[in-house]
């Protein structure tokens, strides 16, 4: 084994990880529901999916705002529109986030017109398996006005009667956050008490394109078993997903936005799925409803961006909706550094450049050892070639003689690769951070091609529209290969020279912020390697002169 083989192994490992995430990344396994309630929960989840039995189009459960009127809530952060017929959320438009980078692009609506039919932020009452969608057939009243919050909190109150239930929904809004708190008071108007359940619902159109592998719309949740999520849209359509076990929150989310329900009780169960291309979710809590006794239950909704700072102030560990997987422990600190740098340079592209330099400085000594090891290996190549010519037909003897050669000249064949292994987690951490951080969404670097009006790197979370940076990055990788000592094995040499082409292909669709990072890192590595080679040549010249 020599340096080349190790580097090749590392490169191929990185390639496999990237390719796997791009083409085959499986969703995390959905949590299994408790056996005792398996049948009922499966049915509940299916009712949120397209596997619901013989559902006509439109569903008889769909919201039809025939009697209600619209009520608007304005805050510095969003414009929300509710329908007085059940308090259904009809739209939730974020004022600080546009759909595209175009200046005339509309602001992001986290509900979408098609999702309104599924009753977002509605209430479902269930008794003996029979669901009562309170936005259907109920008689609702509203005596308030539109809200315009500049500061503080205000509430909307919807009252109504559905079946044998009298309901009062108090939705409280905070001008400083995206959190909406609900106090739901249910009064059983029948002559007998009974056990029932109350469900708070969410529904939203897909927040991303169906084929977006980097940023899928998914269902996530946190309970006593930890954070989990379901990203497979087909599974959500066909089976749905269920989660309980001290549920803390559940969300319809993308990398950048979420529509979350935060239950107040300890016994909440989430049912979710995809129906008619709409992501649906219900959080159910048990309730004992005594005759003519009002019972108040609480839940909260967070409808907004994956702003880690704001999420950290939300209840029930809602900040854990932002998760970068295995590299979370590295990705989040790197984002903290990026945000810190941004305060001074006001350009995330420049912040990435500074961060790249900082990382390079940290790893400079390790990289130096790697290059020095490669140089020592380079000097041994003629002797290794002779051994290969002599013992090429006897692999065991060839390996023994090669290892003896390494021992004689005190060369560790793994010495050049270990520094690279240590840097790989940082690469992946930054990869995950750049792929999923709301700060990088629509963050420009070089917004226009210099001296033109041609839009270029106007969004660091999107690919380079003209593939300039990945092509240059591929060229730098090729140059690095030329500067690296050649392998004695011709096959290895061909594979190594082929790697820049493979990486360039993979990087074509990567976020431009990541490509900028990798490109600059390559340039810095080339500079470091060139300095070391020049230093060695100078030293050899001095030795020869002596």
Residue 9 is predicted with a pLDDT of 57
Determine the Cα–Cα distance for residues 209 and 305; give it in Å rounded to an integer: 17
Residue 416 is predicted with a pLDDT of 58
Determine the Cα–Cα distance for residues 521 and 516; give it in Å rounded to an integer: 8
Assign 179 to helix, strand or coil.
strand
Residue 427 is predicted with a pLDDT of 78
Residue 420 is predicted with a pLDDT of 65
Q: Lowest mean pLDDT: which of 116-130, 170-184, 273-287, 384-398?
A: 384-398
DSSP states of 102-150: STTPPEEESS-GGGGGG-TT-EEEEETTEEEETTSS-EEE-----EE-S
DSSP state of 390: H
pLDDT tens digit sequence for 262-278: 999 889 999 999 999 99
Tell me the sheet residues that pair with 10.
none
Asked whether the beta carbons of 306 and 256 are under 8 A apart, the reply is yes
pLDDT tens digit sequence for 303-346: 999 999 999 999 999 999 999 888 889 999 999 999 999 999 99
Residue 24 is predicted with a pLDDT of 46
Residue 35 is predicted with a pLDDT of 44
Asked whether the beta carbons of 434 and 460 are under 8 A apart, the reply is yes
Residue 5 is predicted with a pLDDT of 54
pTM of the model: 0.81
| Whether the predicted pLDDT of 492 surpasses 70 | no
pLDDT tens digit sequence for 196-246: 999 999 999 999 988 888 789 999 999 999 999 999 999 999 999 999 999
Q: Lowest mean pLDDT: which of 105-114, 370-379, 435-444?
A: 370-379
Pairwise pLDDT comparison (511 vs 252), residue with the higher score: 252
Burial classification of residue 148, based on how many CB atoms lie within 10 Å of its CB (0-12 exposed, 13-18 middle, 19 or more buried)? exposed
pLDDT tens digit sequence for 463-490: 899 999 999 999 999 898 887 765 556 6
Residue 60 is predicted with a pLDDT of 58
pLDDT tens digit sequence for 146-192: 999 999 999 999 999 998 999 999 999 999 999 999 999 999 999 99
Q: Confidence band (pLDDT; 50, 70, 90) for 97? A: very high
Beta strands in 189-225 (DSSP E): 194-205, 218-223
Residue 432 parent element (H or E): helix 418-436
Residue ranges of domains in the chain, CATH in brackets: 70-323 (2.70.98.90), 332-545 (no CATH)
Residue 19 is predicted with a pLDDT of 56
Pairwise pLDDT comparison (386 vs 116), residue with the higher score: 116
Residue 18 is predicted with a pLDDT of 57
The candidate with the shortest Cα–Cα distance to 94, out of 83, 80, 105, 81, is 80
Q: Are strands 147-148 and 70-74 parallel, antiparallel or unpaired?
A: parallel
| Whether the predicted pLDDT of 25 surpasses 70 | no
| Whether the predicted pLDDT of 29 surpasses 50 | no
Residue 388 is predicted with a pLDDT of 80
Structural tokens at position 441 = 């969404």
| Whether the predicted pLDDT of 294 surpasses 70 | yes
| Whether the predicted pLDDT of 11 surpasses 70 | no
Considering the chain, what is the average pLDDT of its residues?
A: 85
């Amino acid at each position: 084994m020599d340096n080349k083989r190790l580097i090749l192994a590392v490169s191929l490992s990185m390639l496999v990880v990237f390719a796997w995430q791009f083409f085959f990344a499986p969703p995390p396994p959905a949590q299994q529901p408790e056996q005792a309630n398996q049948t009922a929960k499966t049915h509940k989840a299916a009712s949120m999916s397209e596997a619901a039995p013989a559902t006509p189009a439109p569903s008889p459960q769909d919201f039809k705002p025939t009697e209600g009127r619209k009520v608007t809530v304005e805050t510095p952060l969003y414009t929300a529109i509710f329908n007085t017929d059940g308090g259904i959320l009809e739209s939730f438009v974020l004022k600080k986030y546009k759909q595209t980078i175009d200046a005339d692009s509309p602001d992001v609506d986290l509900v979408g017109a098609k999702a309104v039919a599924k009753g977002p932020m509605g209430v479902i009452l269930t008794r003996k398996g029979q669901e009562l969608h309170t936005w259907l057939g109920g008689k609702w009243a509203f005596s308030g006005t539109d809200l315009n919050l500049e500061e503080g909190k205000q509430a909307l109150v919807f009252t109504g009667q559905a079946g044998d239930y009298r309901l009062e929904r108090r939705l409280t809004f905070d001008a400083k956050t995206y959190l909406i708190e609900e106090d739901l008071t249910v009064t059983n108007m029948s002559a007998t008490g009974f056990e029932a359940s109350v469900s708070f619902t969410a529904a939203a159109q897909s927040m991303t394109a169906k084929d977006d592998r980097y940023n899928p719309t998914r269902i996530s949740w946190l309970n006593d078993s930890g954070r989990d999520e379901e990203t497979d849209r087909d599974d959500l359509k066909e089976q749905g997903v269920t989660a309980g076990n001290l549920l803390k929150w559940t969300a319809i989310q993308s990398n950048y936005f979420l529509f979350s329900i935060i239950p107040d009780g300890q016994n909440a169960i989430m049912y979710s799925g995809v129906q008619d291309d709409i992501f649906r979710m219900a959080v159910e809590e048990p309730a004992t409803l005594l005759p003519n006794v009002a019972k108040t239950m609480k839940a909260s909704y967070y409808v907004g961006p994956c702003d880690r700072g704001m999420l950290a102030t939300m209840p029930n560990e809602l900040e854990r909706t932002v998760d970068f997987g295995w590299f979370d422990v590295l990705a989040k600190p790197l984002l903290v550094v990026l945000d810190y740098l941004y305060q001074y340079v006001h350009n995330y592209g420049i912040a990435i450049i500074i961060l790249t330099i900082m990382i390079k400085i940290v790893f400079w000594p390790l990289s130096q050892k790697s290059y020095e090891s490669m140089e020592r290996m380079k000097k041994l190549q003629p002797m290794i070639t002779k051994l290969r010519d002599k013992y090429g037909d006897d692999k065991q003897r060839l390996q023994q003689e090669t290892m003896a050669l390494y021992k004689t000249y005190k060369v560790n064949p793994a010495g050049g690769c270990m520094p690279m292994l240590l840097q790989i987690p940082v690469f992946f951490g930054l990869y995950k951070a750049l792929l999923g951080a709301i700060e990088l969404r629509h963050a420009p670097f070089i917004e226009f091609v210099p001296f033109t009006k041609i839009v270029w790197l106007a969004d660091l979370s999107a690919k380079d529209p003209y593939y300039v940076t990945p092509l240059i990055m591929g060229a730098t990788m090729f140059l690095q290969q030329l500067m690296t000592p050649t392998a004695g094995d011709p096959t290895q040499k061909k594979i190594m020279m082929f790697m820049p082409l493979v990486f360039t292909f993979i990087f074509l669709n990567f976020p431009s912020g990541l490509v900028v990072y990798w490109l600059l890192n390559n340039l810095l590595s080339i500079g470091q390697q060139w300095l070391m080679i020049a230093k060695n040549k100078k030293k050899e010249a001095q030795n020869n002169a002596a």
